[in-house]
């Protein structure tokens, strides 16, 4: 039965002998585990295609809906988080695997004649992979995406002569990013790059086939077949890669932050980890030299990669004798790792609550005082009787929420005003701010509650919310020391003559909380 | 003998390749099915909307009411125009029909001549209480939830009518 179907297909299309031809190709006896990486890379791409299509089926590719629709995918749809996680981590995974594939080929010298073209195509595929990462980074349209892309466009804008044109090509007018840039990035990400990638992968594989898998310098044993031995090894490697990817996607949450806000100048942009080393490199070159870090060095590096087969034209030798190649890899690896490490260390860290208004920090206090945590988890996977706030978006109207609070936490000493503020806060929760409910230190929360109770916000502002008659409090701890602040609370006029601030005599514990809160306020 | 172990080994390899590929496909495919087929988590009930003034309605005289309602459409909140045929059936009793024909969804309108709701598309017609009189429509007109509050007529969600 099966045979007759196969025969029938074979007679009409030749597909069966085609597949057989593919599977039973002769490969050198030395082939083995070190050559699985190409297949794994290709499989990574396949995962990206599948998850990418799935995401696109529920995604509105234009701001600001892009953000809303991704939020919908994450908070409303079954497996939405998983699929987004797979796509996000899959991108990183693909970079890693492609990088390893390149390293292996380089170390073994598999780029040598007649495989120069295969190698150069591979370098182009690496660049395309990075292009996917670059264009995809903008698509969530949260602050991270927005500011990360602003930096990228600014860097390219500095290119001599071509700068303004590249900027135009990216749909940006004098460095601003808007719907046009978004459309171009999205178009490139889903319409331009994928078919290009597929064609070039096809060509790359064709060339691998044409020249055969690179043999060891001396092959003594007769050739073997690709199937099933090598296919098995490839599949095991793919399976391991996929298991790691799946674990990452389920266990490490990729937060979707606040919607992109071009006016939020306090946001610290940071590119994806695989671009961090470039980011760091830039810091070594200032002013007119900047171009060395942004264009010249990366350009030279890519040029050298392309030219590798022509620089090293010697006959194939054993891996152990390729000391120079090993040296280059070690040198590049150490350089890359230390740049990346330095970049990670030098990025200032901001706790989520540090961008909150006082009202929002105080709302965290209300959440705790109202013991809302008895029913609602606030970290992923924390299963309790009520919905987990880390997994959902709160859509309920404010009044409905207040009614819910009064019913369930009415007897825990909270005022109606606090309930209303908590309701407002709940409706604004996102993946990043929800973290603050559990992580904001107790004394900071008490400080903010005290701040609210004494109506400090009538005159002062924190994170741009509040009155204007007193000085804004962000960075106050940098301007004044602790003793000054403490004394100033008790007798403002003594410390700043002419001040119209009334004196506040706080008890010791309250004073400590207040000061602790003031100290967390960053510029 | 050597032949046989070779054959066994080959069987093992082919089997494990299939098993691993199958596992991966399931790990991708099953979530994908859930993602595409299960509707969104939140089922928002529409708010009550004040649609008509009871004192201005005449008994058994259907009146078309156009009102704005806010609806959650996927990731969006949309404000849209909606219509209802409101019929006062008693002193404090009102029913409201959805104007969507239960056949293929054309808009029905009240024909005051022969006192029926008529659909222009495939000539279904419905009696003033929504029942099918003629035509291909498979079930009575759908009804809105209705609440009468003093003289205010409030409309809620549309409930699908029962077959037949
Ligand atoms: S749609 Fe109304 S009769 Fe067909």
Q: What is the pLDDT of residues B14-56, one digit of tens each?
A: 999 999 999 999 999 999 999 999 988 876 666 788 888 888 8
Nearest CA in chain B to A68: B75
C-alpha–C-alpha distance, residues A359 and A448, integer Å: 7
Residue-level pLDDT at A162 = 86
Closest CB to A395: pick one of B16, B32, B44: B44
> Do residues A108 and A235 both lie within one domain?
yes
* A394 close to A426: Cβ distance less than 8 angstroms: yes
* B154 Cα to chain A: minimum distance (Å): 19
Q: Is residue A315 part of a domain?
A: no
**A489 and A414 both lie in a single domain:** no
Centroid of chain to Cα A481:
37
Decide if A211 is inside a domain: yes
B139 C-alpha to center of ligand 1: Å? Answer: 11
Q: A486 and A388, same structural domain?
A: no
Give yes or no: residues A236 and A208 share one domain: yes
Domain ranges of chain B: 1-38, 49-159
DSSP 3-state of A322: coil
Q: Which residues of B touch A72 (CB under 8 A)?
A: 40, 74-75
Q: Is residue A305 part of a domain?
A: no
pLDDT at B70 over 90: no
Provide the domain limits for residue A202.
20-257
Q: What element of type H or E holds B91?
A: none
Which tokens in the block code for residue A511? 């004073």
N residues, chain A: 523
Cα A16 from chain centroid (whole Å): 43
Q: Last residue of a domain, which of A257, A274, A307?
A: A257
Which CATH number does the domain housing residue A513 bear? 1.10.760.10
**In the listed set A437, A465, A483, which residue is the last one of a domain according to the structure?**
A437
Q: Which helix (H) or strand (E) element contains residue B29?
A: helix B2-37
How many Å lie between the alpha carbon of A392 and the closest alpha carbon of chain B? 9
With tokens 């942009």, the residue in question is A269
Tokens representing B132 are: 């099918």
Q: Quick check: is A277 in a domain?
A: no
- Give residue B164's pLDDT: 58
CB contact under 8 A, B13 and A232: yes
**Which residues of chain A neighbour B16 with C-beta distances below 8 Å?**
232, 235-236
SS3 A330: helix
Q: How far is B104 from chain A (nearest CA, A)?
A: 26
| Angle (nearest 5°) at CA A433 between A427 and A438 | 110
| A493-to-A33, A318, A488 alpha-carbon distances in Å | 76, 81, 8
A189 and A242 fall within a common domain:
yes
Give the number of domains in chain A. 3
The answer as to whether A12 is a domain residue is no
| Residue A390 CB contacts under 8 Å (≥ 6 apart), including other chains | A377, A378, A379, A380, A382, A431, A434
**Which residues does a 6 A CB cutoff place in the pocket of ligand 1?**
B 101, 103-106, 119, 121-122, 124, 135-137
* Shortest Cα–Cα distance, B92 to chain A (Å): 29
Determine the distance from the C-alpha atom of residue B138 to the mean position of all C-alpha atoms in its chain, rounded to a whole number.
15
Q: What is the pLDDT of residues B108-131, one digit of tens each?
A: 999 988 899 999 999 999 999 899
For the packed helices A80-108 and A65-76, what is the interaxial angle rounded to 10 degrees?
Answer: 100
CATH value at residue A26:
1.20.810.10
Tell whether A468 is within 8 A of chain B (Cβ): no
Strands (DSSP E) contained in A430-469 are: 461-462, 465-466
Q: What is the token pair recorded at A428?
A: 């604004």
In this prediction the ipTM stands at 0.87
Say if residue A410 is in the same domain as residue A491: no
Residue A80 structure tokens:
């939405």
Alpha helices, H only, A188-259: 193-211, 231-251
Which residues have CB under 8 Å from A96's CB, separation 6+? none
User: What predicted TM-score, i.e. pTM, was given to this entire model?
Assistant: 0.90
The A residues from 364 to 393 touching B (CB cutoff 8 Å) are: 392
Domain B49-159 class? mainly beta
Q: What is the pLDDT along chain A (523 residues), one digit of tens a residue?
A: 888 999 999 999 999 998 988 888 889 988 889 999 999 999 999 999 999 999 999 999 999 999 999 999 999 999 999 999 999 999 999 999 999 999 999 999 999 989 999 999 999 999 999 999 999 999 999 999 999 999 888 888 888 888 889 899 999 877 789 999 999 999 999 999 999 999 999 999 999 999 988 888 888 888 888 888 899 999 999 999 999 999 999 999 999 988 999 888 778 888 889 988 988 888 888 888 888 888 899 999 999 999 999 999 888 788 888 889 999 999 999 999 999 999 988 887 888 899 899 999 999 999 999 999 999 999 988 889 999 999 988 988 899 999 999 999 999 999 999 999 999 999 999 998 999 999 999 999 999 999 999 999 999 999 989 999 999 999 998 999 999 999 999 999 999 888 889 999 999 999 999 999 999 998 7
Residue A381 within a domain: yes
Q: Could you identify the atom of ligand 1 that is nearest to the CA of residue B122? A: 3
Q: Across the interface, which of A76, A77, A231 has its CB nearest the CB of B17?
A: A231
Q: Are residues A88 and A205 in the same domain?
A: yes
Q: How many CB atoms lie within 10 A of CB A118?
A: 22
| Rounded Cα–Cα distance for residues A171 and A188 (Å) | 12
Whether A30 and A160 share a structural domain? yes
The verdict on A508 and A366 lying in the same domain is no
Are both A80 and A137 inside the same structural domain? yes
Consecutive H or E run containing A71: helix A65-76
Residue with the two structure tokens 């086939």: A209
Q: In the listed set A227, A257, A287, which residue is the last one of a domain according to the structure?
A: A257
List the strands of the sheet with B76-90, edge to edge: B49-53, B152-159, B143-149, B93-97, B76-90, B63-73
Interface residues from chain B to A (CB-CB < 8 Å): 10, 13-14, 16-17, 20-21, 23-24, 27-28, 31-32, 34-36, 38, 40-42, 44, 72, 74-76
Flag whether A109 is in a domain.
Answer: yes
Which residues sit opposite B71 in a β-bridge? B78
Whether A82 has its CB under 8 Å from any CB of chain B: the answer is yes
């Amino acid at each position: 039965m099966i045979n007759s179907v196969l025969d029938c297909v074979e007679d009409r299309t030749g597909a069966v002998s085609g597949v057989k031809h593919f599977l039973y190709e002769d490969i050198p006896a030395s082939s083995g585990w070190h050559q699985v990486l190409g297949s794994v890379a290709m499989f990574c791409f396949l995962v990206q295609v599948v998850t990418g299509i799935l995401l696109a089926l529920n995604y509105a590719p234009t701001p600001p809906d892009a953000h809303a629709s991704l939020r919908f995918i994450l908070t409303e749809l079954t497996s939405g988080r998983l699929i987004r996680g797979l796509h996000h981590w899959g991108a990183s995974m693909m970079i890693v695997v492609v990088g390893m594939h390149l390293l292996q080929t380089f170390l073994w010298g598999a780029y040598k004649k007649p495989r120069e073209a295969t190698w150069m195509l591979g370098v182009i595929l690496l660049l395309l992979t990075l292009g996917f990462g670059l264009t995809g980074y903008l698509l969530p349209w949260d602050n991270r995406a927005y500011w990360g892309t602003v930096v990228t466009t600014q860097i390219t804008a500095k290119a001599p002569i071509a700068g303004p044109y590249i900027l135009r090509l990216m749909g940006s007018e004098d460095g601003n990013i808007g719907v046009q840039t978004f459309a171009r990035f999205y178009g490139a990400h889903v319409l331009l790059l994928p078919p290009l990638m597929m064609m070039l992968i096809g060509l790359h594989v064709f060339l691998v086939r044409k020249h055969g898998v690179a043999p060891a310098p001396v092959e003594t044993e007769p050739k073997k077949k690709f199937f099933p031995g090598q296919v098995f090894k490839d599949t095991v490697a793919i399976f391991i890669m996929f298991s790691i990817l799946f674990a990452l996607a389920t266990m490490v949450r990729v937060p979707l932050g606040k919607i992109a806000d071009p006016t939020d100048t306090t946001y610290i942009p940071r590119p994806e980890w695989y671009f961090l080393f470039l980011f760091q490199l830039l810091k070594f070159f200032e002013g007119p030299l900047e171009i060395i870090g942004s264009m010249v060095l990366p350009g030279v590096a890519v040029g050298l990669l392309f030219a590798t087969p022509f620089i090293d034209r010697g006959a194939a030798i054993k891996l152990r004798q390729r000391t120079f190649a090993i040296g280059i890899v070690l040198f590049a690896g150490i350089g890359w790792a230390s740049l990346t490490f330095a970049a990670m260390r030098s990025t200032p860290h901001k706790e989520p609550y540090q961008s909150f208004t006082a009202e929002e920090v105080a709302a965290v206090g209300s959440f705790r005082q109202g013991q809302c945590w008895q029913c609602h988890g606030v970290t992923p996977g924390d299963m309790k009787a009520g919905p987990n706030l880390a997994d959902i978006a709160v859509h309920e109207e404010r009044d409905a929420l207040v009614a819910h609070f009064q019913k369930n936490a009415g007897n825990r000493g909270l005022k109606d005003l606090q309930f209303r503020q908590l309701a407002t806060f709940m409706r604004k929760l996102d993946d990043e701010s929800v973290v603050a409910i559990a992580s904001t230190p107790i004394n900071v929360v008490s400080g903010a509650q005290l701040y609210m109770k004494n109506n400090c916000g009538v005159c002062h502002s924190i994170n741009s919310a509040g009155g204007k008659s007193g000085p804004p409090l962000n960075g106050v701890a940098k301007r004044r020391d602790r003793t000054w602040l403490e004394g100033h609370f008790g007798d403002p006029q003594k410390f700043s003559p002419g001040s119209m601030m009334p004196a506040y005599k706080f008890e010791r514990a309250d004073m400590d909380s207040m000061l602790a809160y003031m100290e967390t306020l960053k510029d | 003998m050597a032949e046989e172990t070779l054959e066994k080994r080959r069987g093992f390899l082919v089997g494990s390749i299939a098993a691993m590929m199958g596992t991966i496909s399931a790990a991708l495919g099953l979530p994908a099915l859930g993602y595409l087929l299960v509707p969104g988590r939140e089922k928002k009930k529409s708010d009550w909307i004040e649609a008509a003034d009871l004192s201005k309605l005449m008994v058994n005289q259907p009146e078309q009411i156009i009102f704005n309602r806010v609806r959650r459409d996927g990731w969006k909140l949309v404000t849209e125009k909606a219509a209802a045929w409101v019929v006062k059936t008693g002193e404090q009793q009102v029913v409201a029909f959805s104007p969507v024909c239960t056949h293929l969804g054309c808009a029905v309108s009240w024909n005051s001549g022969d006192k029926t709701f008529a659909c222009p598309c495939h000539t279904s017609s419905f009696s003033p209480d929504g029942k099918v009189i003629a035509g291909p429509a498979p079930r009575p007109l759908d009804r809105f939830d209705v609440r009468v509050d003093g003289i205010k007529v409030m409309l809620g969600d549309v409930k699908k009518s029962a077959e037949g």
